[in-house]
Amino acid sequence: MCLTILSNARFGWMFVTSQIIIIYVIFVLIQKRVESRRKR
Amino acid sequence: MKREVWKTHTGMILAMIGTEVGLGNIWRFPYLCGLHGGSAFLIPYLILLFGIGIFAMMAEWVIGRYSRKDPLGAFEKIGFPRGREVGAWGIIGPFFLYAYYIVITSWVLFFIIASFAGLYFGKDTQKFFLDFLSSPYIFLFHLAAVAITSSVLALGVQKGIERACKFMIPTLFILLIIVTIRSLTLPGASIGVEFYMRPRLGALLNPAAWIAALGQIFFSLSLGMGAVIIYGSYLKDEWEIPINAIACALGDTSAAILAGFAIFPAAFALGLGAAVSGSQSIGLTFFTLPLVFERMPAGFLFGGLFFLLLAFGALSSAISIQEPSIAWLDEEVGWKRKRSALFTGVILWLMGLPFILNGYVMGGLGEKLALLSKMDIIIGQLALPLFGFLAILGMGWVMKEKGFQELHKNARHKFGKWIRPWIRFVVPSATILIFILSLITVLEERGVIREILPQVQVREFIPLGIGPATVIMIILATGLVWGGCIFLATRAIITEKRKRRYVPDYIE
């Protein structure tokens, strides 16, 4: 069911782009934390 | 802890060729040759390879060796504005690329066994491939592919990557030569050779040939993936960059040219010339070529060897795109390499699952590959040229003289003064051109806008038609390039002034 929705072109695009943006933002936040911990 | 470097010069060259030689060399270059004038296509390809491609590649080598860090740390160290955020893409971009690239690699691994066992012989090859995507075995092969790359990387740079590439890349070339000899010795192979190599110079007047050559060079050299930066960071100082980069680019091109000799003569000899010359990527590899191997004497053997060499190319590239994230965990978070490899392996396996499940659940080729093709458009066609462009700006406009000094460090053969304007103006312009043309192709040909907004046609956005629209977009992009360069240059001057202003008296 979930994949049927994902395979719909519009939802597929939303899934792929949101996955990229979310993971990128999370990674930037993680690396900032790592950086501040390292500086301390 | 001391940072690892490549142990031997041969190992470094083979590892670099390993990043470059991948699926693109085998499933796309021969197709482009067939489409754009046979051997005449080599003219724009070699001109643009030596004019643009190798310099873009050298820029990434320079950033890597100068910083001796993962792509994230490298962009920060060279002083790129918001270097950590921009460099973060050098870790995350390859992550997404790996997630779907390894899915394709797992199909190749299955086809090694399928060919040796003759599983697709006498069957509809397209149906055979689709049935495989719907079978539980796909999960097993996906896991195996992730496990192979993670295990190699867990062993480190010298014992893992270098040793694996020292085995895989020479074997790949030997297998390619064996399959090529088989292909060329089939009765009627000369028709395929003539199709592939007879120069049709008229095709060079078509700008599409030049654009296709530039795009193929960019993707084939694995630029903008963070892989070349991280491999460059393991270079020893005594190895000169210019000559070695040229050697690697030639190694990559020779694999691509040989692949055409392995494919076309056999296809034409066995009566499948039209089908093979008209298909590329997934269609060529998994539907059309199996038909060629089916008709070939001892085809199970040569089919198996062909998919084996393809797997070596794909795995060596996959290893290089998993490495930036492992290097980051290793160097910046302080994890042990084995732990980093296991962690990234698990995350990447999970990230690949949506693509596998998409193929497993859905019916029909388009639906099965829906997510994978969308990710390929965003990452492969758009994000990579953009990151590659930033890397070139990083060397030409941020590092400036330091970049050119690094390029010529310990080099016996140095470029003249022309290299500065060339890397600062010409190479970034060409790279942004690839990005713009990829964007236009994606919007116009792949029908992205139509999929998102079904009622709207692309041409409604561009009332003048694609020709003038392309010209306008190129002018805008050129403005963007030089605007960015001026921004970077002025920023560097401001930072310099600030540093001077805030030097405390006691230091002087």
Q: Nearest-CA residue of chain A relative to B367?
A: A7
Return mean pLDDT, chain B: 88
B506 has pLDDT over 60: no
**Residue B463's domain spans which residues?**
9-501
Least trusted range by pLDDT, from B117-131, B167-181, B197-211:
B197-211
Q: Are B200 and B42 in contact (CB under 8 A)?
A: no
Structure-model confidence comparison of residues B169 and B27, the more confident one: B169
State the pLDDT at residue A5.
Answer: 64
State the pLDDT at residue B463.
Answer: 40
Look at residue B400 and tell me if it is in a domain. Answer: yes
Look at residue B508 and tell me if it is in a domain. Answer: no
State the pLDDT at residue B248.
Answer: 95
State the pLDDT at residue B446.
Answer: 60
A6 has pLDDT over 70: no
Whose CA is closest to B90, among B351, B405, B416, B386?
B386
State the pLDDT at residue B337.
Answer: 94
- How many domains does chain B contain in total? 1
B443 has pLDDT over 90: no
pLDDT range class, residue B461, cuts 50, 70, 90: very low
Asked if A9 and B379 come within 8 Å (Cβ–Cβ), the reply is: no
B477 has pLDDT over 70: no
Whose CA is closest to B314, among B139, B148, B70?
B148
Residues 6 or more apart in contact with residue B190 via CB below 8 angstroms? B265
The residue of B70, B72, B355, B369 whose CB has the most chain A CBs within 10 angstroms, and thus the best one to mutate to test that interface, is: B72
The residue of A5, A7, A29, A33 whose CB has the most chain B CBs within 10 angstroms, and thus the best one to mutate to test that interface, is: A7
Q: What separation in angstroms does the CA of B72 have from each of A32, B88, B332, B335, B336?
A: 11, 5, 10, 16, 18
Indicate the residue type of B421: P
State the pLDDT at residue A39.
Answer: 77
The mean pLDDT of B442-447, rounded to a whole number, is 68
User: CATH number of the domain that B408 lies in?
Assistant: 1.20.1740
Q: Are B166 and B14 in contact (CB under 8 A)?
A: yes
Least trusted range by pLDDT, from B179-188, B272-281, B293-302, B329-338:
B272-281
Look at residue B3 and tell me if it is in a domain. Answer: no
User: Rounded to whole angstroms, how far apart are CA atoms A35 and A19?
Assistant: 24
Structure-model confidence comparison of residues B348 and B205, the more confident one: B348
* B314-351 confidence digits (pLDDT tens): 999 999 999 999 999 998 888 999 999 999 999 999 99
Look at residue B345 and tell me if it is in a domain. Answer: yes
Q: How many CA atoms lie within 13 A of A23 on its CB side?
A: 17
10 Å CB burial of residue B415 (0-12, 13-18, 19+) is middle
B464 has pLDDT over 50: no
Whose CA is closest to B261, among B182, B168, B171?
B182
Look at residue B18 and tell me if it is in a domain. Answer: yes
Is residue B169 left, alpha or beta, with left meaning phi > 0 and alpha meaning psi from -120 to 50?
A: alpha
Asked if A31 and B95 come within 8 Å (Cβ–Cβ), the reply is: no
Q: Nearest-CA residue of chain B relative to A16?
A: B375
Whose CA is closest to B314, among B493, B107, B122, B480?
B107
* B390-409 confidence digits (pLDDT tens): 999 999 999 989 999 999 99
* Contacting A residues, span 1-40, partner chain B, CB-CB under 8 Å: 3-4, 6-7, 9-10, 12-13, 15-17, 20, 23-24, 27-28, 31-32, 34-35, 38
* Residue keyed to tokens 């320079």: B62
Look at residue B4 and tell me if it is in a domain. Answer: no
Q: Nearest-CA residue of chain A relative to B379?
A: A20
Question: How many other CB atoms sit within 10 Å of the CB of residue B410?
Answer: 10
Asked if B358 and A6 come within 8 Å (Cβ–Cβ), the reply is: yes
The mean pLDDT of B291-320, rounded to a whole number, is 95
State the pLDDT at residue B1.
Answer: 63
DSSP string, B206-265: SHHHHHHHHHHHHHHTTTTSSHHHHHHTT--TTS-HHHHHHHHHHHHHHHHHHHHHHHHH
B465 has pLDDT over 50: no
Structure-model confidence comparison of residues B363 and B428, the more confident one: B428
| Nearest CB partner across the interface for B92, out of A16, A23, A35 | A23
Q: Are B416 and B72 in contact (CB under 8 A)?
A: no
B380 has pLDDT over 50: yes
Share of residues in chain B with pLDDT > 70 (%): 87
Q: Nearest-CA residue of chain A relative to B449?
A: A10
